[in-house]
Amino acid sequence: MAACARVSLAMARCAKTNHWEKEFVLSYNLPAEVTDWHDMKRSAFFLTLLLTGSATAQLAIVEQRFKELDKNGDGLIAGEEMQAADYLSKLDLDGNGSLTLAEAKTAIARTEKAKTAATPGKTGIAEFDKLDKNGDGLLTRDELLQKRWMRFLDGNADGQVTLAEATEAMSRLRKKGLPEESTAPVTPASEDPSLKEAPEILKGSEHGVGHLVADLVLKDNHGQEQPLSQRLEQSQGIILAFFGATCPISGKLGAELARLEKDAAEQQVQMLLVCPVAVETAEDIQAFITKHGLTSPVIHDTDGQLAQALQATTTTEVFLLDAARTLIYRGAINDQYGLGYAKDKPNKTYLRDALAAMLRHESPEITATTAPGCALDHQEKTQVVQKNVTYHNQIARIMQANCVTCHRKDAIGPFSLETYDDVIENAGMIRKQVERGAMPPWFAAEPPTGQHSLWINDTSLSAQDKQDLLTWLAGGRPLGNPSDAPKPLHFPEEWAIGTPDAIVQLPKPISIKAEGTMPYQFVTATTSFDKDQWVQGYEIMPTDRAVVHHVIVQVHPKGSDVKDRGEGTEGYWAAYVPGNSAHIWPEGFAKKLPAGSIVSFQIHYTPNGRKTEDQLRMGLVFAKEPPRYLVHTAAVAHTRLNIPAGEGHHIEVKEQTVPRDMNVMAYMAHMHVRGKAFKFEVTPPGGGTPEVLLDIPRYDFNWQLRYDYAQPRFLARGSKVKITAVFDNSESNPANPDPTKNVRWGPQTQDEMMIGYFEYYTSSGADVAVQ
């Protein structure tokens, strides 16, 4: 059982600078009991345990630090490299002014041996023996400096801590704190060729998606002059594919256009080829379609009527319309070619994905992108939608795009908005919630004028849709022509993610009482997978949604002694919160589920007036092949909250150092009912002007949304991330349980929390193949 503090380059540096110590603690994602640095600083005991571990682990740290300091990679730390830290000279055994890795390891071993010999007491850890006042080799609550450390250290929950238990607790942090990744440096997403070359994802509703396209009369190269509605008869939809006969990127996409033409025809979807370049000749156009074996009708849009009506931007943009002339998708065909780059094959097949969704009567995940190609120049632009707003030509489409996912029969919305009568019946509530910005639920601040939304899951109404809806509600609410109505959408009967590849379920139902509050429930389920699995998506499905407020899922290695470690400070593997019950990561991204893992569910139930039971399930979708990137979630948690009674605008701030380069994919803020606003900021390494990453000026406890980047954001190692929260503990907050009470951190709704979650990815490296 005896153990001794091992000296390393890391420990030597730790003795030299508090900055690194703080960074070390952050990098291991310490739980709530020990995350506060002031507690750590006062306790040599904890710091010693943190730096105690297997000899193999310590040598790995030494080698890592040596490589970092050996800037020129010559196997020596010398010259300016030697001046990086004072302790390096103490490791220079032969005094020649340079240091090899072998020499550093020898110096450390000698120091460790000397320290071991000089350490008094039964355990070999002087700090442990000092705390162990009665000398029985055990620490009790009375002997620990901070009594709240007991839950973290006491592995068998017997009310006393052995040195083995304390060391094991810190060993767990070392094993789980740092994510699996390769040793290659992290590449910023903006510089990763597989990511930066993808067209920019746009918010579809701000670019006409979901709207009715005007019934334009188009004349093709065969002399047929027909309105769009007539061309769509007996069709599932139509692709309007723009091209430039002399545009090089159009030429590269010609082969894919031919394949799309064939595949779409087999699914009763037409294609129209649109040349928007007036100066190109009939010979140019014919040469293009002959070269690529295209047979679809060609519209030579010499007057720009079609390009202007659709607000087309380039010669490679495509527009997908369904049979009711609703614009389903606009943007790039795929991401294989662009300005200055080309790939062997595309990573993203935007048009094909949108076509497949349309044929399933579902909304595509991505509805609009930019389209790298030869730019078009229009003197004037007209709206893609028709101006006379009626229910059939516009309002029904707004409801489909923004409301009926929740507001439909047997869904979570309190009433349906699927029909004209539904909308009229609930017109007052629709108007109120839209005017106050509560619906659709989206709480991030609007982007600056002229800038696109950063968030791929931005559900806010576009300015035009909001104006159209409120004007229609305030006016005569015309029904319009039924022939303009959109096609109905289809929704999954059970799983939003589709049929899962596997399901993990609670072992037995949990009884929920009718009234009052319930402590958090902590339940585990052991998986039976005999090999590691790569999970690309999940969905958490309670059997009684009405009483489940949120669920935090963690994954533990096979054979672990799993205990409830509390919420928030270690990130999460999966989560169910208001507004977020499922998530699918892009192709190539996944989370690891090790063979034989134990899955723990921390569940917050909220009784609603009737006794019930819940036995929630988690459905899993597995990646088709080992991923290129591993997804992780980290947390910045402020556990030392102190919110004064009656205070209506109390601000709390927490700042931490980013321990490694990371590409952030998403954020999620978590507070309770006194939460009023939340902000994520970052300051570059070495200082500078802070930048707002995400501003949530109106936090809503009932809708704790993910905010998913359209393009991941790179945060450099050494940056400072800051979370700022505003709490309303006054009488004017109608959700406040008790405005006369000072509020601190706690698990129940009447307590408060302040957590900023960061979802990020790392390279999976070369060793990710499933065994």
> Has residue 225 got a pLDDT over 80?
yes
Q: Which amino acid is at 144?
A: L
> Has residue 11 got a pLDDT over 70?
no
Contact 5, 48 (CB under 8 A): yes
Determine the average pLDDT of the residues in 404-416: 84
> Has residue 371 got a pLDDT over 80?
yes
User: How do residues 230-265 score in pLDDT, each as one tens digit?
Assistant: 999 989 999 999 999 988 889 999 999 999 999 999
Tokens of 414: 């309190």
The CATH code that applies to domain 502-627 is 2.60.120.230
Domain residue limits, the chain = 9-177, 193-359, 391-484, 502-627, 632-763
Can you point out the beta strands (E) in 196-297? 217-219, 225-227, 237-242, 269-275
* Cα–Cα separations (whole angstroms), residue 676 to 565, 673, 733: 27, 8, 9
Q: Say how far apart CA 34 and CA 146 lie, in whole Å.
A: 9
Task: Report the DSSP beta bridge partners of residue 575.
Answer: 552
> Has residue 86 got a pLDDT over 70?
no
Decide which of 641 and 494 is more confident.
641
Decide which of 263 and 339 is more confident.
263
Share of the chain above pLDDT 90, in %: 51
pLDDT for residue 123: 55
193-359 and 502-627 agree in CATH topology: no
**CA atoms within 13 Å, Cβ hemisphere of 560:** 25
Q: How wide is the angle at C-alpha 54 spanned by C-alphas 51 and 55, nearest 5°?
A: 100
Determine the average pLDDT of the residues in 115-142: 66
Q: Say how far apart CA 80 and CA 41 lie, in whole Å.
A: 31
pLDDT for residue 743: 96
Q: Name the CA radius of gyration of the chain, rounded.
A: 30
> Has residue 193 got a pLDDT over 80?
no
Assess if CATH 1.10.3720.10 describes domain 632-763. Answer: no
Determine the average pLDDT of the residues in 297-319: 92
pLDDT for residue 519: 85
pLDDT for residue 397: 95
- Ranking 150-159, 257-266, 411-420, 525-534 by mean pLDDT, the lowest is 150-159
Nearest alpha-carbon partner for 498 in 538, 548, 552, 456:
538
CATH architecture of 193-359: 3-Layer(aba) Sandwich (3.40)
Tokens of 578: 């208001």
Q: Which amino acid is at 201?
A: I
> Has residue 178 got a pLDDT over 50?
no
* Cα–Cα separations (whole angstroms), residue 239 to 206, 260, 333: 20, 9, 11
Contact 49, 166 (CB under 8 A): yes
* pLDDT range class, residue 14, cuts 50, 70, 90: very low
* pLDDT range class, residue 174, cuts 50, 70, 90: very low
Task: Report the DSSP beta bridge partners of residue 455.
Answer: 709
Decide which of 187 and 43 is more confident.
187
